[in-house]
Amino acid sequence: MQNFEEMLRTRDEETRHVSFVLGDCNVNVDDQEVHLNAVVAEDSKVSEESLHMTNESFRQLCNVINFPIPFANRIDPELLKLNMDFLLSHSGNAMYSALLSPQGVRAFKDPTYPYIPSLDIYQGIVNQVNGAYETGFDGIDELRVQAVIMPLEFHDDFGGSIIQGGVRFSHVDSWLDDKPIKFESFLHRETGGTGMIVDRQTRKLRVAKKAPGDVLAQAKEFAKEAVKHVPDMMKGFQDSLEEPVDRPETVVRRISKDKGIPKKVQNILVDQLSDPAFQATIGGREPKNMHDIIALFMFVGTHNVDVSFGNSEQLLSAAGELASDHKHRCDLCGHEVA
């Protein structure tokens, strides 16, 4: 079985980066499969190719040519071809790019953005950690690569669980995403298999019209910044063991309000306070300190299927902020105190 770095290397080796004039393209539609016919330039070679589009790359192409996706998904093949050919022919002489895999077009890409293999981003992060490390929570799909790099120096044991700190990163090598690259400080609690995140980046990584080396240099700085905040998360999480909480529900609701967590999710948090599955992660008892409250946010953010992905990230971020900021709160009402 390949490890994560080997999978990245295979993915990048299989990726072809090609360019073409969008206005010269047309499509074939057959049995609900769409192929883009284009004259592609790759390195110094030019060739005519019929490029199979996946569901994701078809969606991207529709967005590029301003073709409504709901309409494209329900019209018959002949009308689909007619509409797409018309819109493509009116796209002008601008160059566009695509990332090709053995299955076809993996993703389209704005040609003003450099192609940077995710392997290079990953290796840049690894270079920012000291000594041995582990990689976990990884995933690779058509668009996104994500993983957590956890240096062994950030392994500890407290609160009845092994704790591992590191950097969580995600990268979309086509850059066609609201957040194509992210670096976050990450803490994993082995008991319950939960985690927390902290995003302290105040700058935006500049990519358009930049050379690959410039982007990689920025990425290394962002990764270095994320690594820097891990010890604060670990110390704050450990110190929270000493902060008593007398009214867990009141404290949870106060924190949720401060963090802008929706009422529905607040109710889920409160319900989980007495859930045996959660309590098993804090020693089989009711919550009694801020460490347990942070663990609750991590548990619900990681495991509750009724919480959306966006709200899950909000909960993991709230847990990370509670640990790293470590602002003292009233043990009765949850308000921050000086």
Residues 205 and 160 in one domain: yes
Indicate if 124 and 218 belong to the same structural domain.
yes
Strands 45-52 and 144-151, how do they pair?
unpaired
Within a domain: 7: no
pLDDT tens-digit readout, 197-243: 998 877 888 999 999 999 999 999 999 999 999 999 999 999 999 99
pLDDT at res. 101: 93
The reply to whether 151 falls in a domain is: yes
Q: Are residues 57 and 158 in the same domain?
A: no
**Do 221 and 275 belong together in one domain?**
no
Considering only residues 238 and 334, tell me which one the structure prediction assigns the higher pLDDT.
238
Residues 176 and 222 in one domain: yes
Judge whether 9 lies within some domain. no
- Claim to verify: residue 41 and residue 100 sit in the same structural domain: yes
261 inside domain: yes
Average pLDDT (60-88) is 94
* Cβ density class 212-229: b for 16+ within 10 Å, e for less: eeebbebbbbbbbbbbeb
- Which residues contact residue 99 at a Cβ distance below 8 angstroms, ignoring those fewer than 6 apart? 15, 16, 17, 105, 106, 107, 108, 109, 115, 173, 174
DSSP string for residues in 206-234: P-TT--HHHHHHHHHHHHHHHHHTHHHHH
DSSP state at residue 238: H
**pTM listed for this prediction:** 0.87
pLDDT confidence tier of residue 337, bands split at 50, 70 and 90: low
Structure-token match 């990370």, residue found: 320
Show the domain range for 154. Answer: 118-228
- 332 located within any domain: no
E-strand ranges in 81-223 read: 95-101, 104-109, 133-140, 144-151, 155-158, 161-172, 181-189, 194-198
Name the domain boundary from 87, 109, 131.
109
Q: Is residue 44 part of a domain?
A: yes
Domain identity same for 91 and 131:
no
How high is the pLDDT of residue 127? 87
Residue 82 CB contacts under 8 Å (≥ 6 apart), including other chains:
none
40 CB contacts (<8 Å, ≥6 apart)?
18, 19, 20, 46, 47, 48, 49, 51, 98
Give the integer Cα–Cα distance in Å for 44 and 41. Answer: 7
Residue 39 domain-assigned (yes or no): yes
Number of domains in the chain: 3
Distance CA 163, CA 185 (A): 13
